[in-house]
Amino acid sequence: MLAYLLRRLGLALITIWAITVVTFIILQLPPGDFVDAYVASASAGGASISAAEADAMREAYGLNQPLWFQYVKWLGHIVTGDFGRSFEFGKPVIEVIGDRLWLTVLLAVGSIVVTWGLALPIGIYSAVRQYSVGDYVFTLLGFIGLAVPNFLLALIIMYFGLRWFNLSVGGLFSAEQDLAPWSWAKVYDLIWHLPVPMLILSLAGTAQLVRIMRANLLDELRRPYVMTARARGLPERKVIFRYPVRAALNPFASTIGYLLPFTVSGSVIISVVLSLPTVGPVLLRSLLSQDMLLASTIILLLGVLTVIGTLLSDLLLMWIDPRIRLGQLR
Amino acid sequence: MPELSRRTLFSALAASPAAMELITSTLARAADLSASGLVGEIQGPTMITDPAQWPKTFSEAPMLAELVKAGKLPPVEQRLPAEPMVWKPLNEIGKYGGTWRRAFTGPGDGENGNRILSTDKPLSWSADGNKIVPCMAKGYELSEDGKSYTLFLRKGMKWSDGAPFTADDWIFWFEDIYGNPEIVPTPTPEMRPRGKAGRMVKVDETTVRWEWDVPYFLFEEIMAGDTGLGGGQAVRQSGKISFGGYSPAHYLKQFLPKYSSVEVVNARAKQEGFENWVQMLHFKKDWELNTDLPVLGPWRSVRPINNPIWLLERNPFYYAVDTAGNQLPYFDKVQFTLGENLEVINLRAMAGDYDEQERHIDLGKLPVLLENQTKGNYKVHLDLGFAGADFLLQVNQSYDADPEIRKWLTNADFRRALSLGIDRDQLNETFWLGVGTPGSPAPAESMPQNPGPEWRKKWSVLDVARANTMLDGIGLTKKDSDGFRVRTDNGERLRIQIIAVQAFLPYPKLSEMVADQWRKIGIQADVKEMERNLAFNTQRNNSHHIFIWNNGGTELLYLFPIHAIPVDPVQAFMGPLYGAYYASGGTQGVKPTDENWLKIWDLFTEAASLKAEGRNKNAQEIWKILVDQQYGIGTVGQSPAGLGVRLVSNRLGNIAARVCNAQHCRTPGNSHPETWYFKS
Amino acid sequence: MSEARSGSLAVENRVAVATQRQLIWWRFRKHKLAVVSAAIVGLFYVVALFADTIACTEPFDTQATRGYVPPQPIHWLDAEGHFHPQVFALKGKRDPRTFKLSYAPDPGEPRDLVLFGRGYPYRLFGIVPTDIHLLAVSDGRPQDSLFLLGTDQLGRDVFSRLVLATRTSLTIGLVGVSLSLALGVLLGGMSGLYGGAADLVIQRVIEILRSIPTIPLWMGLAAAVPASWSPQRVYFAITIIISLIGWTELARVVRGRFLALREEDFITAAVLAGASHMRIIFKHMVPSFLSHIIAAISLALPAMIISETTLSFLGLGLRPPAISWGVLLQDAQNLQTLGLAPWLLVVALPVIVVILAFNFLGDGLRDAADPYG
């Protein structure tokens, strides 16, 4: 057991290191560097930067150094916990991400809660009342959520929210509250803004979960022990919830680790469309402007989350499912 | 798959009896624009220069009055210069208070704030953008021989932290910042007319003089335009560049090794999280990032640009007052809210979330913006620009990767034929909703450097028959089975690549329409939509055939020439290697074989030593060559597409019906936001 | 009674002697939704095959005077009440105050709608030059009057572009999935069959690829595609990029099946009988999980399509002048569309329908894949 744990940790560390290498490589693939991006964006904004100025910038940012040197320097930074300064934001990477990180997590966790909260009851209902009208209706609705491109949906909701309901557009705070210190009014403001992004984010996941829940539960309900329980006069509600539902939930344990990083990744585009102050738009922006340090750190962060998540999942599964544990011993 | 499918070339030419009609003639267009009620007369506040008419008593904003009472600020009479700038507001004296809400797109959108602060420029322009007028400086004097330029500052003027603003701040910049190669490695050509470096000299506390070895009459325009020396501290010292002409010496001295030692400043840099003292200096002198930096403009940053809300607050030492003696600005604060994408910004604009916004507003959404005026409680104004081309096809003259392509790109008749094959009215109707002016890239007829009315249409009309004849005439006679002309070297289809970036206009879509139109003249154009960085990188490497951009700024050619002639490799879409050649004085890049470029460069270089009439004449000659040669193929211009769709809340007062929309006007800076106020 | 019993006995007998393929088919048939979905998918691929024939207007033909035309109604009955499908030519005007375009049909200019009439020339299947289209108007110029789904900003017919987009998007899906399949089976198989070091390495690679967020991966890879490549090459590069990420899921499934099958008695028997590895894999193992693979593929296809639309949204992937669902969605992703030309959103419909259809199809196949379960 301990040996397994240690081995998994070791492998996880190797994976994380490999992620840093791959990340750095992908970020270097697009030609040019941050200064090019800066010049391009300045030009688009109606300013002019001469070649001499651009070269001076390059020198000041240390972008002339060889690639491997920049990589080693970055690695060194990470180990000491200083992720460097973002070129674009002009402030430490940690500050840029930190401001937005907790909102990102809040949104992700919220979407997961909404997803499960919607999917489980619907899945159970669908399984228990198989082939009923309700089953078909819910399945169809769920699937439409899966199939509609969510960035399009986001724009449509924003537009019609404004036209028909005068709903404030995008963001997680209204402008007045954004500057104000934390208060109940601000919390209320946040709560008011959260439903739309959370709903859109959870749509695809809900459909997935409904299907899996339904399929698993159907499998369980066909088993002999259910028939036995019914035959012995157990009330229907207990028949369903006591064992089958819990058994059907097993596979979720294996995916729970992935959920957080997956949702964070999946929310990037929605966050851009809805202009949410989360990590997503910053990631996209840093990729476009080739702000190496910021982009690498965010990608590393997501990668690490995933690896940890997988590890936790495996451990969780091992803990719940005795067969795996026993198998190991042998 | 994405191959243009075969079609009969001339079928669309045949007039169809049931074709749809649309009012597109230019006559009707002029009527349209006035019928829309969106384009007004240019207006602005009036500068009162006669000291006899200046106010004798002054007052200030309530929020400042409180600070004075608490002893934290000197009284307003002591904060203003002895010779303040006096404005008669456009409509009425304003009221203090309120927060001006705007949108910005992130730390890269510094121009958004720079332009609002642009009254920190030494000189500026009249409301119509045609005359040089005083701004932060009181006035200037150009010697008869053009070898010396004297700038007169305002006596008693102060930085936003109360320290005096004097000629010392100019000399400090010249000697300690511009003169330090670690900060400014390459001198600016603006300080080196004919390659000879000029000098800045302090005459007295409020007078600075530049001395040149050669006549340099252009310098008076340079000090007024959006240039390295005349652009002002806000724009020219943010973003890691260090021009601007002046700097807060009393504040920045502490960050320079000259005033302590290299070890001391480096240690401080490390302590504050910078690599070295140069990086720290770049941060400290950037008004967008450093809220402690003293500035001269109407507002200063209290919350830096790298936050979701960028907040500016009034500068208590701002140098201007209105005719009643109220110290400007009227707005207490300016608040920029982050919009991660343009759709959100435009949507919020429609909701009335912004008080005045001309930046990032999309002309294509005009009908929807008009629809929501009542609901959003705003009014839409269209400010037509003066640049000749919002959508310009720059043909790369220094391209060398493919000799066959090079042969055609550098052939004048080839370019002229391409130009004749473009249906500008169609483009104007589709993308500018009919409000642009089709024609050549020459600046507007109202600008002094316009070469003459006949140059608007020269080579810049639709004439498919003539285009086909010209292409046949230069040797592109053979066509393949689909009707496209083939290369003369290997018989394959001739393919011209157009690189298009999404910008304030949808360049890729515009290019698609042009590519479709060029089918009628047998030219296959491959439109490559690219990420902006990638596109600029491609251009820098001289690998593009045609690059789509605009020529904003060229309405005053000498102040912003890069979109018209190659004088710097960056943004020299018409010939990066030529730009490198010129900028390096011949040591880098490639010398043009086309005599026209050499002629243009001569005219351009000579102009710096000529007086205004001479300069303008040279510019006209340059434009005549550019238009005749069609190095840059113009399509539609003089439109409000860039910074010209202005949404203004109905609550604001002193708002002009139309403002100057041009690079040198630093739109919206030249319309003096410091005189706007909330009526309700 | 006895009839019923003999009837069910007959069924049991049939079931007992039926081949695996028949069992799968019977099981599949029971899932009505899956059968319908299969039909829908088939229909879409027919459309993709005959895309140019079904389109009526040349998809690259721009015309400012017919920008943002709303979908055009077909008039089925003429003035005398006979069945005579017609469309009317349109006259357009831009309002000088609101800047909106408005179009009014001109009843005095009817055009007869014909089946299999003449339109723009193209090559059927890329070989046979022809100009016959499914729908056309009598004077052969549908670009003036036939806009079943309206036009876009440049005046291009939405219906025709939608049909061509279907072809591109559905074939990207196929190509991409084939690549994912090949990689997935190969690497997943090696991982499951040989175990040990190979398994460890491949598992780590999969984990790394899955840990890196897809968007940066795509952006980095897409940026590496040289600018000078033609649209076709870029298209293939994009499919390769998408499938490079997508194969991991398939590999895990394959590996799982291989691991399970390895312990089966019939495999042990084959090994003892001296069969070569190749034979074991292809004759014994693959048929056992083939149906699972098919189910996984039909679920991977919608993912491909969604990836393509996402890439287009980001401005990577296919770009104009290529036409795909992603490109058309990108065109529609703005306020002008929502406020002035909402018919451009119709692009979302085939996307939704196809994704749903593939999902149900996949469900049905998965249920049917294990007929013994």
Q: Is A104 on the interface with B (CB under 8 A)?
A: no
* Closest by CA position to A299, among listed A312, A277, A282, A275: A282
Tell me what the mean pLDDT of segment C61-65 comes to: 86
Omega into B329 within 30° of 0, i.e. cis? Answer: yes
What pLDDT is attached to residue A228?
84
Residue B259, phi-psi category: left (phi > 0), alpha (psi -120 to 50), beta (remainder): alpha
Whole-angstrom distance, CA of residue C67 vs CA of residue B427: 11
**Chain C: nearest CA to A168, how far in angstroms?**
16
Q: Do A43 and B351 make contact, defined as CB atoms within 8 angstroms?
A: no
Q: Do C65 and B21 make contact, defined as CB atoms within 8 angstroms?
A: yes
Query: Which residues of B fall within a CB distance of 8 Å from A46?
Result: 111, 552-553, 642-643, 663
For C313, the closest of A23, A30, A269 (CB atoms) is A269
As given in the structure block, the two tokens for residue A124 are 């159970």
Q: Where are the alpha helices (DSSP H) in C225-285?
A: 231-262, 265-272, 277-279
Q: Which residues pair with B100 in a beta bridge?
A: B334
B 215-254 near A (Cβ less than 8 A): 226, 235, 239-241
C-alpha to C-alpha distances, B509 to A100, C320, C326, nearest whole angstrom: 35, 8, 15
B141 and B271 within one domain: yes
C180 versus B311: the higher-pLDDT residue is B311
Query: Which residues of B fall within a CB distance of 8 Å from A275?
Result: 338-341, 344
Omega into A197 within 30° of 0, i.e. cis? Answer: no
User: Is B377 in contact with B650 (CB distance < 8 Å)?
Assistant: yes
B291 and B307 within one domain: no
C-alpha to C-alpha distances, C207 to C96, C178, C252, nearest whole angstrom: 59, 22, 10
Position B1 in a domain: no
What pLDDT is attached to residue A30?
74
Position B387 in a domain: no
Maximum mean pLDDT: which of A306-310, B293-297, C17-21: B293-297
Q: B7: pLDDT confidence band, cut at 50, 70 and 90?
A: very low
Neighbours of C318 (CB within 10 A): 27
Q: Do A148 and C363 make contact, defined as CB atoms within 8 angstroms?
A: no
- Asked if the model's pLDDT at residue C373 lies above 50, the reply is no
Q: Which residues pair with B124 in a beta bridge?
A: B133
Query: Which residues of C fall within a CB distance of 8 Å from B1?
Result: 167-168, 171, 231-232, 235, 322
B204 and B83 within one domain: no
B415 and B371 within one domain: no
User: Is A284 in contact with A272 (CB distance < 8 Å)?
Assistant: yes
Q: A329: pLDDT confidence band, cut at 50, 70 and 90?
A: very low
Q: Which residues contact B423 (CB under 8 A, 6 or more apart)?
A: B462, B517
CATH number for the domain that contains residue B440: 3.10.105.10
Q: Domain residues for B106?
A: 23-114+297-379+649-680
- Asked if the model's pLDDT at residue B15 lies above 50, the reply is no
B 171-200 near A (Cβ less than 8 A): 184-186, 188
**Chain A: nearest CA to B185, how far in angstroms?**
6
What pLDDT is attached to residue C18?
64
For A151, the closest of C219, C333, C351 (CB atoms) is C333
As given in the structure block, the two tokens for residue B7 are 């079609």
Omega into B640 within 30° of 0, i.e. cis? Answer: no
Q: Do A277 and B308 make contact, defined as CB atoms within 8 angstroms?
A: yes
B97 and B179 within one domain: no
Based on the structure, what is the number of domains in chain B? 3
* Closest by CA position to B496, among listed B523, B517, B477, B474: B523
What pLDDT is attached to residue C286?
72
Tell me what the mean pLDDT of segment A116-134 comes to: 79
As given in the structure block, the two tokens for residue C98 are 């609101």
Q: What φ, ψ does residue C5 adopt, rounded to 5°?
A: -65, -40
Tell me what the mean pLDDT of segment A42-64 comes to: 74
DSSP string of A70-114, one letter each residue: HHHHHHHHHHHT---B-TTT-SBHHHHHHHHHHHHHHHHHHHHHH
Q: Which of B282-291, B577-586, C20-29 has the lowest mean pLDDT?
A: C20-29
Chains in contact with A, counting 3 or more C-beta pairs less than 8 Å apart as contact = B, C
**Chain A: nearest CA to C73, how far in angstroms?**
25
DSSP state at residue B520? G
Q: Which residues contact B651 (CB under 8 A, 6 or more apart)?
A: B355, B377, B678, B679, B680
Q: Which of A39-43, B638-642, C39-43 has the lowest mean pLDDT?
A: A39-43
Q: Which of A178-192, A280-294, B48-62, B501-515 has the lowest mean pLDDT?
A: A178-192
What pLDDT is attached to residue B403?
94
C212-244, pLDDT tens digit by residue?
777 777 777 777 777 667 777 777 787 787 787
**Chain B: nearest CA to A273, how far in angstroms?**
7
Position B65 in a domain: yes
Q: B669: pLDDT confidence band, cut at 50, 70 and 90?
A: very high
- Asked if the model's pLDDT at residue A147 lies above 70, the reply is yes
Last residue of a domain, which of B243, B273, B296?
B296
What pLDDT is attached to residue B2?
34
Q: Which of A42-46, B103-107, B226-230, B575-579 has the lowest mean pLDDT?
A: A42-46
Tell me what the mean pLDDT of segment B307-333 comes to: 95
A 16-35 near B (Cβ less than 8 A): 30-32
In chain C, which residue's Cα lies nearest the Cα of B536? C227
As given in the structure block, the two tokens for residue B33 are 């624009």
Last residue of a domain, which of B296, B317, B336?
B296
For A62, the closest of B275, B504, B552 (CB atoms) is B275
In chain A, which residue's Cα lies nearest the Cα of C314? A269
State yes or no: ipTM above 0.90: no
Tell me what the mean pLDDT of segment C60-71 comes to: 88
C365 versus C52: the higher-pLDDT residue is C52
**Chain B: nearest CA to C177, how far in angstroms?**
19
C68-123, pLDDT tens digit by residue?
999 988 888 777 777 878 887 787 888 888 898 888 887 777 778 888 888 888 88
* Closest by CA position to B318, among listed B326, B327, B305, B309: B327
A206-222, pLDDT tens digit by residue?
777 777 777 777 777 77
Whole-angstrom distance, CA of residue B360 vs CA of residue B504: 7
**Chain B: nearest CA to A39, how far in angstroms?**
8
B417 and B365 within one domain: no
Chains in contact with C, counting 3 or more C-beta pairs less than 8 Å apart as contact = A, B
C-alpha to C-alpha distances, A108 to A211, A313, B366, nearest whole angstrom: 21, 18, 36
* Closest by CA position to A116, among listed A208, A248, A215, A251: A208
As given in the structure block, the two tokens for residue A209 are 């979960």
Q: Do B536 and A277 make contact, defined as CB atoms within 8 angstroms?
A: no
| pTM, 2 dp | 0.88
B427 and B576 within one domain: yes
Whole-angstrom distance, CA of residue B166 vs CA of residue B150: 14
B450-485, pLDDT tens digit by residue?
999 999 999 999 999 999 999 999 999 999 988 999
Q: B75: pLDDT confidence band, cut at 50, 70 and 90?
A: very high
Strand order in the sheet with B333-338: B99-104, B333-338, B309-314, B299-303
As given in the structure block, the two tokens for residue B477 are 């006679």
What pLDDT is attached to residue A253?
62
B224 and B92 within one domain: no
Tell me what the mean pLDDT of segment C29-54 comes to: 88
For B612, the enclosing helix (H) or strand (E) is helix B612-629
C-alpha to C-alpha distances, A191 to A105, A106, A110, B571, nearest whole angstrom: 15, 11, 11, 47
- Asked if the model's pLDDT at residue A324 lies above 80, the reply is no
Q: Is A88 on the interface with B (CB under 8 A)?
A: yes
Tell me what the mean pLDDT of segment B171-175 comes to: 96
Strand order in the sheet with B207-211: B139-142, B148-152, B207-211, B199-204
Query: Which residues of B fall within a CB distance of 8 Å from A272?
Result: 340-341
Helix (H, G, I), strand (E, B) or coil at B593: coil
Q: Do A18 and C204 make contact, defined as CB atoms within 8 angstroms?
A: yes
Whole-angstrom distance, CA of residue B600 vs CA of residue B607: 11
For B43, the enclosing helix (H) or strand (E) is none
Tell me what the mean pLDDT of segment B368-394 comes to: 94
Core vs surface per residue B505-518: b (16+ CB within 10 A) or e: bbbbbbbbbbbbbb
Tell me what the mean pLDDT of segment B312-321 comes to: 96
Strand order in the sheet with B645-649: B356-357, B645-649, B378-382
- Asked if the model's pLDDT at residue A227 lies above 90, the reply is no
Query: Which residues of B fall within a CB distance of 8 Å from C65?
Result: 19-22, 24, 426, 429
B191 and B124 within one domain: yes
| Residue bearing tokens 């332009």 | B115
A5-25, pLDDT tens digit by residue?
788 888 888 888 888 888 888
User: Is B142 in contact with B611 (CB distance < 8 Å)?
Assistant: no
Q: C6: pLDDT confidence band, cut at 50, 70 and 90?
A: low
Q: Do B337 and A39 make contact, defined as CB atoms within 8 angstroms?
A: no
Mutation pick from B111, B532, B661, B665 vs chain A, by most beta carbons of A within 10 Å, is B532
B626 and B564 within one domain: yes
Query: Which residues of B fall within a CB distance of 8 Å from A169?
Result: 344, 347-348, 351, 353
User: Is B321 in contact with B58 (CB distance < 8 Å)?
Assistant: yes
A211 versus B155: the higher-pLDDT residue is B155
For B553, the enclosing helix (H) or strand (E) is none
- Which amino acid would we find at residue B64? L
**Chain B: nearest CA to C217, how far in angstroms?**
16
Maximum mean pLDDT: which of B180-189, B201-210, B524-533, C174-183: B201-210
B616-654, pLDDT tens digit by residue?
999 999 999 999 999 999 999 999 998 999 999 999 999
A 273-312 near B (Cβ less than 8 A): 273-277, 281, 285, 288-290
Mutation pick from B5, B7, B20 vs chain C, by most beta carbons of C within 10 Å, is B20
B282 versus B36: the higher-pLDDT residue is B282
Q: Do C310 and A151 make contact, defined as CB atoms within 8 angstroms?
A: yes
Last residue of a domain, which of B296, B323, B338?
B296
Q: Is A156 on the interface with C (CB under 8 A)?
A: yes
What pLDDT is attached to residue B665?
94
Helix (H, G, I), strand (E, B) or coil at A65: coil
- Asked if the model's pLDDT at residue B563 lies above 80, the reply is yes
**Average pLDDT over chain C, rounded to an integer:** 80
What pLDDT is attached to residue B569?
84
Domain boundaries, chain A: 100-277
* Closest by CA position to C335, among listed A160, B474, A8: A160
- Which amino acid would we find at residue B214? V
In chain A, which residue's Cα lies nearest the Cα of C325? A149
Q: Do C314 and A23 make contact, defined as CB atoms within 8 angstroms?
A: no
What pLDDT is attached to residue B1?
34
What pLDDT is attached to residue A271?
86
Q: B28: pLDDT confidence band, cut at 50, 70 and 90?
A: very low
Q: Which of B6-10, B98-102, C55-59, C142-146 has the lowest mean pLDDT?
A: B6-10
Query: Which residues of C fall within a CB distance of 8 Å from B527?
Result: 320-321
B365 and B471 within one domain: no
Helix H, strand E, coil C: the string for B60-128 is CCHHHHHHHHCCCCCCHHHHCCCCCEEEECCCCCCCCCCEEEEEECCCCCCHHHHHHCHHHCCEEECCC
Query: Which residues of A fall within a CB distance of 8 Å from C345?
Result: 152, 156
CA dihedral B655, B660, B666, B669 (to 10 degrees): -20
Position B518 in a domain: yes
Neighbours of B24 (CB within 10 A): 17
Q: Which pairing describes strands B645-649 and B378-382: parallel, antiparallel, or unpaired?
A: antiparallel
**Average pLDDT over chain B, rounded to an integer:** 90
Q: B420: pLDDT confidence band, cut at 50, 70 and 90?
A: very high
What pLDDT is attached to residue B27?
39
- Asked if the model's pLDDT at residue B11 lies above 50, the reply is no
**Chain C: nearest CA to A243, how far in angstroms?**
21
Q: B14: pLDDT confidence band, cut at 50, 70 and 90?
A: very low
In percent, how much of chain B has pLDDT > 90?
Answer: 80
- Asked if the model's pLDDT at residue C63 lies above 60, the reply is yes
What pLDDT is attached to residue C227?
65
What pLDDT is attached to residue A55?
79
* Closest by CA position to B615, among listed B211, B221, B118, B206: B221
Cβ contacts from A onto B, under 8 A: 173
For B531, the closest of C60, C315, C333 (CB atoms) is C315
In chain B, which residue's Cα lies nearest the Cα of C63? B426
Query: Which residues of B fall within a CB distance of 8 Å from A62?
Result: 275
What pLDDT is attached to residue A247?
67
Query: Which residues of A fall within a CB distance of 8 Å from C310?
Result: 149, 151, 269
For B568, the closest of A45, A50, A274 (CB atoms) is A50
B417 and B286 within one domain: no
User: Is B642 in contact with B436 (CB distance < 8 Å)?
Assistant: no
C-alpha to C-alpha distances, B612 to A240, B453, B494, B616, nearest whole angstrom: 91, 21, 45, 6
Position B402 in a domain: yes
Q: Which residues contact A141 (CB under 8 A, 6 or more apart)?
A: none
User: Is B626 in contact with B459 (CB distance < 8 Å)?
Assistant: no
- Asked if the model's pLDDT at residue B432 lies above 90, the reply is yes
In chain C, which residue's Cα lies nearest the Cα of A7? C200
What pLDDT is attached to residue C222?
73
Q: Do A295 and C356 make contact, defined as CB atoms within 8 angstroms?
A: no
| Backbone CA torsion sign across B369, B370, B371, B376 | positive
Q: Select the CATH number that applies to the domain covering A100-277 from these four: 1.10.3720.10, 3.40.50.150, 3.30.360.10, 1.10.150.120.
A: 1.10.3720.10
In chain C, which residue's Cα lies nearest the Cα of B361? C335
What pLDDT is attached to residue A4?
77
Whole-angstrom distance, CA of residue B513 vs CA of residue B67: 60
CATH number for the domain that contains residue B74: 3.40.190.10
